[in-house]
Structure 1
C-alpha cells in the first residue's frame, strides 16, 4: 500500500466550525488517519480507523508525545468504500459523525480554540474538503 499524505498548515478552523470530508478508502487500505491540531507533533484530534484491529482509535499528541488512547469498536469503514465524515470542533470536545450516522466523541484535551493544522494520511483519497 502506498501512503498518501495531504497537509494544510494555515487552516482557519475555530471553535464551533465543522469540517465536511468526502473520500474513497483504498481497496488495499489497512488504516487511514485524519489529524487536527496546531502542528504535526501537536494534535488535538488523531482519528484513526484500523481495519486489521476492527477499531477506531482517537488520541491527542502533545509536544510529540501521544496521550491516552480512546478506542471505539463501532467500525463502519471498509476498504474500497466511499465515505462522508463530518467533524465538529466544540469548546469541550470533537464530534465525528460517521457515514452510518454513529458519532464518535473525543475531548478537546488542550482546550484549543483555533486549529491551523490538518493532515490526512494512509489509505484514503479525499475528493471533497469543506470547512464551515
Structure 2
C-alpha cells in the first residue's frame, strides 16, 4: 500500500479541536490545504499556525471567520501570551451549509490565503516562519482533509525507503483542459497528487498520462459520472486497447470533492482516492519512463496538482 512520507500524508476527518505537527517546520514555498464544510449552525472557527503543539504556544498566523450580524474574518498573531493588532475583512468567503477548500500559501512576505480558488488576504509575517511547526483547528467547522504541501521530514531518507518522489511546485486552480509536463519524466515511485471537485451536472472527465512525442496515452483514467463508472485504458499506436471498469469504490460523484494520488510502480500504476485504494492499472506501455505529460480535460474543477 502507498503510504506518503511525513509532510505529504493527509489527515482525514480529524476530531475538532485538532492539533498536529508540521514535520520539519514551515518555510517559504510550502502550502497548507484544508477542505471542510461550514455547518448551518456556526458561530466561529479558527486555524492557527503555531510554534509548538502545546496550549499557550506562540501563534505565527491566526485565522478566524466569525459569523454574526457583522460577518468578518480576523487575522492576528500571538507572542508570549499577547495578541497583536487584528487585521479583518468583511468579505466573508464561507457560506453556511456549504463545502469549502482553503489554501494557505507561505511566501517571503507572509501567509497568502485563498478560499474556493479566490484570493482572500495576505497576512505579513510577524514571527519567523521557521519557528512554526504545528497546526491547530478549533470551533464549529467540520474538517474533511488537512494536508501540508511541500513539507517532509528533512531526515526522511533515513527513516524509511520506498517513499514517493515529489519534486515539483504545486499548481493551484489550473484551467481545464490543462496539460502539465512531468518534471524529469515518469519514474518508479513518482507520485502525482490531484485534488478537485466534480461539478453538478458533470458528465465525464479524464486524466491522461501521455508520451508527448507520439501522443500515446499510457494510462487513461476516465470517470463517467452519470454512468457511475470509472474506465481505464491505454491508447497506443493510434488505437484504444481493452477497457477496465472494475473498482472497489466510486468517489467521483456530482458535487463531491476528491483527493487523488497516482503512483507509478515497476509493474503498475496504483490509484488512491480520499485515502482509500481504488484500483491498479498494469503497465501496457513498457517504456513508462517515456511518459512526460499529464493531460486534464472534461467536466472537472481542479484545486491543485503536485508532483
TM above 0.5: yes
1:101 to 267, 276, 281: 276
C-alpha contact 1:15 1:114 (8 A) present in aligned 2:
no
Aligned to 1:90: 265
More deviation, 79-88/112-121: 112-121
2:228 to 33, 48, 54: 54
TM-score by length of 2: 0.40
Q: What runs of 5+ residues in structure 2 fail to find an aligned partner?
A: 1-175
TM-score by length of 1: 0.87
Distance 1:95 1:103 in 2: 8
Q: Quick one: structure 1 residues 42 and 18, their matched pair in 2 at CA, closer, same or farther if it must change by over 3 Å?
A: same
SS at match of 2:296: strand
Aligned to 1:6: 178
Aligned to 2:300: 124
Q: What runs of 5+ residues in structure 1 fail to find an aligned partner?
A: none
C-alpha deviation, 1:44, in angstroms: 0.9
Aligned to 1:25: 198
C-alpha contact 1:36 1:45 (8 A) present in aligned 2:
yes
CA shift digits 1:12-44 (9 cap, x unpaired): 332220001111212121111101021373011
C-alpha deviation, 1:75, in angstroms: 1.8
1:64 to 225, 230, 238: 238
Distance 2:269 2:202 in 1: 25
C-alpha deviation, 1:52, in angstroms: 2.2
Runs of 4+ in 1 over 4 A off after TM superposition: none
Distance 1:100 1:19 in 2: 14
2:210 to 7, 21, 37: 37
Distance 2:198 2:191 in 1: 21
Quote the RMSD (CA, aligned, Å).
1.9
Aligned to 2:27: none
Q: What is the aligned residue count? A: 129
SS at match of 2:226: coil
C-alpha deviation, 1:10, in angstroms: 5.3
Distance 2:290 2:187 in 1: 4
Higher relative contact order (CA 8 A, sep 6+): 1
Distance 2:289 2:215 in 1: 17
CA shift digits 1:57-90 (9 cap, x unpaired): 0001102211111112432211121111000011
Larger Rg: 2
C-alpha contact 1:26 1:123 (8 A) present in aligned 2:
yes
Q: Quick one: structure 1 residues 100 and 15, their matched pair in 2 at CA, closer, same or farther if it must change by over 3 Å?
A: closer
